[in-house]
Structure formats: C-alpha cells, structure tokens
C-alpha cells in the first residue's frame, strides 16, 4: 500500500462532468500535472506532489518513493517525454506535515533537493522558477490542502495546474490541451472566459492563468480546448481556441474562439471531440 497521498488543489475532480466524460474516452492517454510554472512567459518546470506519512529521510533512504511513483504515475515515461520536449525539469514534491519539511525529486536529472520548511521550499521555487514576486492575495480559496495555505502565507503560492493533456493512444500525437471550466452563475452556452480575464473586487483575474495555458500548448505545438460544464446541466460546451490577444504586459487580453459544439455528457466520443479540435 502506498505511503504517499496525492493531495490536490482541484476540489471538483470527483464530480467534474467534463473530466469524467473525457476520461471515459479510451482512445486517449490523460496526463495531468498538479503544477506548471513560468518565468518571463516561458515554461520553467512541471510539478506533481504527494503527502508522506513517514519521516522524509527514511522515505528516501528506503527507496519507498520509487514504488510510490510507479504506483501513482502510470504514465511516468510519457510525462518525462513531455518535459524533455519543452526542455524543462519535472519535479515531484514530497512533504510531511509532522516535520513540516519537503523534498523535491527532480525526475529529469534524478537529483533530490531538501528543505527544512515549507517556506524555504517556497522561496527557492519562487526565486528560481517564477518571476520571484511575493504574492499576498485577499482572495482566499477554501478547502485547499494545508501545504497550499502554508505556501500562500509565505507569499509563494503553489502554481496553477494542467487539467488534462490528451494524447492519441494510436498515433502517440498530442491531441490537445484541455481546460475544464465550471460555470455556476450562468449557463454553459452563455459562459465566456473573456468575462473573467480581468481582476474584480471579488475574484482574481484569469489573464495570467490563460497566458500559462497558451505558452504550454504553444511549446508543445498543440491546441487549447475548453470544456465548459455545470453541475445542473447535461450539456457540455466544447470550445476550441483559435488564438490569444496579448497585451503590453505579456498577459492574455482576449481569447479568440474557434469552433464550438454543445455535446451531451453521454454523447462524448473520440469522434465528437475530434470534430471540434481538427
């Protein structure tokens, strides 16, 4: 039994209708990364993470992490290939709440970086893989793991994630970069991500998040596709992005939509998605 728990900041994963529908399509390999970071609008690393319930040094010395990685990362070699395509490291961060320490397993170079506190890790990560700007936001999400709260308190929040990189099992080609977008304030057909790019009094803006999505997909030579879903609807919007407008600050100012289709959850298939993406 693995001694590592795969914590996540994705709180809707268990009931995300779009993700469930896509994951039922057996023609795809599904790659998720718990974190992706950029610096000067260039991808600097990919990340995953896990909570360990034994002393970290013992966890490493006994080689327990090797078995845990094999168990929890079924597509480890493919994820390594994605990192190599981008010329960046793939980090696996393991941490322990009783010790409040963490170690970073650099799966690309097989090095291990050790940190005596979560804040030390946050400072190292921020200075090396981000634009190194301390971020303290009044906007506070609930239900996140303790690790996330500790990093946010330090002004070095855990970076945003990659929802799903779809790879065609038959050809091995990257099919698209999927973003699963929930809507609760308006219908699936009315929702437009452009309405949320700028920050408001009640929420942080999404322009930086979309810049990361654009840079990642562009680096892999693939397309961005958004799947808009609602807990109260059986229809999912599948929206291909044709291009992004970038402002003078290097952030997304507009998403230019391409083909859009509305598909019922039970009608998702390789062919229905392909008809939108191609």
Domains defined for the chain, CATH in brackets: 35-153 (no CATH), 162-277 (3.10.590)
Closest CA to 22 of 225, 186, 201: 225
pTM: 0.93
- C-alpha span between 205 and 255 (Å, rounded): 14
pLDDT at residue number 13: 75
Closest by CA to 144, choosing from 124, 128, 161, is 161
CA nearest neighbour of 9 among 206, 200, 166, 148 = 148
Query: What is the structure's pLDDT at 231?
Result: 95
pLDDT at residue 91, as a whole number: 98
Euclidean distance between CA atoms 14 and 136, whole angstroms: 29
Answer positive or negative: Cα dihedral of 170, 172, 175, 179.
positive
d(CA 97, CA 167): 35
pLDDT given for residue 185 in this prediction: 92
Q: What does the pLDDT read at residue 139?
A: 54
SS3 annotation, the chain: CCCEECCCCCCCHHHCHHHHHHHCCCCEEEEEECEEEEECCEEEEEEEEEEECCCHHHHHHCCHHHHHHHHHCCCHHHHHHHHHHHCCCEEEEEEECCCCEEEEEECCCCEEEEECCHHHHHHHHHHHHCCCCCCCCCCCCCCCCHHHHHHHHCCCCCCCCEEEEEEECCCCCEEEEEEEEECCCCCCCCCCHHHHCCCCCCCCCCHHHHHHHHHHHHHHCCCEEEEEECCCCCEEEEEEEEEEEECCCCCEEEEEEEEEEEEEHHHCCHHHHHHHHC
CA distances for 154 relative to 48, 59, 140, 151, angstroms: 20, 26, 14, 5
Tens of pLDDT, residue by residue, the chain (278 residues) = 568 999 998 877 778 999 999 999 999 999 999 999 999 999 999 999 999 999 999 999 999 999 999 999 999 999 999 999 999 999 999 999 999 999 999 998 989 999 999 999 999 999 999 997 776 555 566 789 999 999 999 999 999 999 999 999 999 999 999 999 999 999 999 999 999 999 887 778 899 999 999 999 999 999 999 999 999 999 999 999 999 999 998 899 999 999 999 999 999 999 999 999 98
């Amino acid at each position: 039994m693995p001694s590592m728990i795969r914590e996540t900041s994705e709180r809707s994963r268990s009931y995300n209708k779009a993700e469930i529908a896509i994951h039922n399509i057996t023609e795809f390999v599904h790659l998720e990364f718990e974190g992706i970071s950029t610096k000067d609008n260039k991808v600097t690393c990919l990340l995953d993470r896990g909570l360990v319930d034994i002393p970290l040094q013992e966890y490493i010395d006994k080689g327990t992490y090797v078995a845990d990685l094999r168990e929890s990362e079924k597509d480890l070699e493919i994820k390594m290939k994605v990192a190599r395509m981008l010329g960046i490291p793939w980090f696996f961060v393991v941490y322990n709440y009783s010790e409040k320490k963490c170690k970073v397993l650099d799966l690309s170079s097989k090095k291990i970086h050790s940190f005596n506190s979560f804040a030390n890790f946050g400072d190292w990560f921020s200075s090396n893989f981000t634009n190194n700007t301390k971020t303290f936001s009044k906007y506070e999400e609930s239900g996140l793991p303790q690790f996330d709260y500790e990093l946010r308190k330090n002004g070095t929040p855990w970076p945003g994630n990659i929802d799903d990189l779809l790879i065609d099992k038959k050809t091995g080609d990257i099919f698209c970069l999927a973003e699963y977008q929930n809507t609760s304030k308006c219908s699936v057909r009315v929702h437009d991500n452009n309405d949320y790019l700028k920050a408001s009094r009640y929420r942080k803006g999404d322009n930086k998040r979309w810049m990361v999505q654009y840079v990642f997909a562009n680096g892999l030579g693939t397309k961005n596709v958004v799947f808009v879903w609602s807990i109260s609807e059986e229809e999912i919007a599948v929206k291909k992005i044709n291009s992004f407008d970038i402002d003078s600050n290097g952030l997304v100012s507009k998403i230019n939509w391409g083909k859009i289709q509305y598909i019922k959850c039970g009608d998702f298939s390789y062919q229905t998605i392909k008809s939108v993406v191609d």
